[in-house]
Amino acid sequence: MAVTERPRILSTVSEPGPAGGTVKFRFGLEDGAAVETVAVPMFGGTYTACVSSQVGCARLCAFCETGTAGLSRNLAAAEIVGQVEAAAEALGIRFRNVVFMGMGEPLDNPEGVFGALEVLRDPRGLSYAQERITVCTAGHVEGIRRLGALGLRRLNLSVSLAAARDELRDRLMPINRIWPLADLAAALEAYPRRRNFAFGVNYCLIPGLNDLPEDLDAVAAFTVRIGRSLVNVIPYNPGRHPIGRTPSEPEIEAFLAGLAARGVFVRRRIEKGRSLMAACGQLGGGSAGNPGKSESPTAPESPVEPPLASQAS
């Protein structure tokens, strides 16, 4: 599909937080589809753009709202880059980082995502250094190999894990039935890395499901196998189809401590945008009906106020 229009803002919602406000944009596309993009505040007054790469998603991860309605279509490179441009313009900022962690499995859309990476990096485009860009995959082994073959050794790569035992990961992330953990670990081991590179390993923590002692052991073994990595523990955000509950603070602390005791570099991802359905695993879940279809276009809330904490710092 030839794209001639930049994504237009259908609606925005924002939520204050300690580092500034999280802003979720709902963008309408030329064919009437809609995607969501989140401006995530970072300490220091900067923002990260969390962009979508697909309308919906085919991967059906059990903890994720995006996949519940399936995949409508891939986004074109221009529609991905357009999210960054339009959100930055609305906020009056330049994003410091761009992460492919919105709607969709980025490596299911290599044409759009690899094209967007080119434009994002090009000095005549948005001129982002590779280090400022992160591709996050659910474990698309073939895509990891193709991404590695691009030779972008300074690009960041993270993987959603959610479980490091095949029998559990098969249930939580069906992509594991295609590429089980051994295949994923082998692809990550072979991924060309710069010095000091560390994989991001995102772990959506669901109490009673993937926080057992055997899970701690399995995550530790997985990280030993893939090499330098940082595990981001993300407390589960129940959406419209909950498969569990949000972990309590003691449960989160116990899991973090359990991993640290096993020699794993681990940190807790601060939840941002939960009330907006803008947190991890919640995009595409904030509106009724098919998340791939837009509402009637409405006038954008213009201008979108940059959050106060951002302005002050």
Residues in contact with ligand SF4 by CB under 6 A are: 57, 59-61, 64, 66-67, 103-105, 138, 160, 281
Which CB sits closer to ligand SF4, 10 or 162? 162
Task: Please report how close the Cβ of residue 196 comes to ligand SF4 at its closest, in angstroms.
Answer: 27
Catalytic residue of the set 36, 65, 79, 105: 36
CA distances from residue 186 to 112, 145, 176, 200, 222 in whole angstroms, order as listed: 25, 10, 14, 16, 10
For 261, other C-beta atoms within 10 Å of its C-beta total: 10
Task: Please report how close the Cβ of residue 61 comes to ligand SF4 at its closest, in angstroms.
Answer: 3
Q: What is the C-alpha separation between 83 and 86, in angstroms, rounded?
A: 5
Task: Please report how close the Cβ of residue 160 comes to ligand SF4 at its closest, in angstroms.
Answer: 6
∠ Cα 17 21 25 (to 5°): 135
Task: Please report how close the Cβ of residue 291 comes to ligand SF4 at its closest, in angstroms.
Answer: 11
* Sign of the four-CA dihedral 218, 219, 221, 226: positive
Which CB sits closer to ligand SF4, 11 or 160? 160
Cβ atoms of 280 and 202 within 8 Å: the answer is yes
Strand residue runs (E) in 69-155: 71-74, 97-100, 133-137
280 included as an active-site residue? yes
Which CB sits closer to ligand SF4, 52 or 310? 52
Task: Please report how close the Cβ of residue 237 comes to ligand SF4 at its closest, in angstroms.
Answer: 11
For 150, other C-beta atoms within 10 Å of its C-beta total: 13
Which CB sits closer to ligand SF4, 108 or 215? 108
Which CB sits closer to ligand SF4, 66 or 109? 66
Length of the chain (residues): 313
For 96, other C-beta atoms within 10 Å of its C-beta total: 14
Which CB sits closer to ligand SF4, 105 or 215? 105
Question: Would you put residue 157 in left (φ > 0), alpha (ψ -120 to 50) or beta?
Answer: beta
36 included as an active-site residue? yes
Task: Please report how close the Cβ of residue 171 comes to ligand SF4 at its closest, in angstroms.
Answer: 13
Catalytic residue of the set 57, 61, 64, 280: 280
Q: What is the C-alpha separation between 205 and 94, in angstroms, rounded?
A: 32
Structure tokens at 56: 């919906």
Structure tokens at 298: 């409405």
Which active-site residues does the annotation give? 36, 280
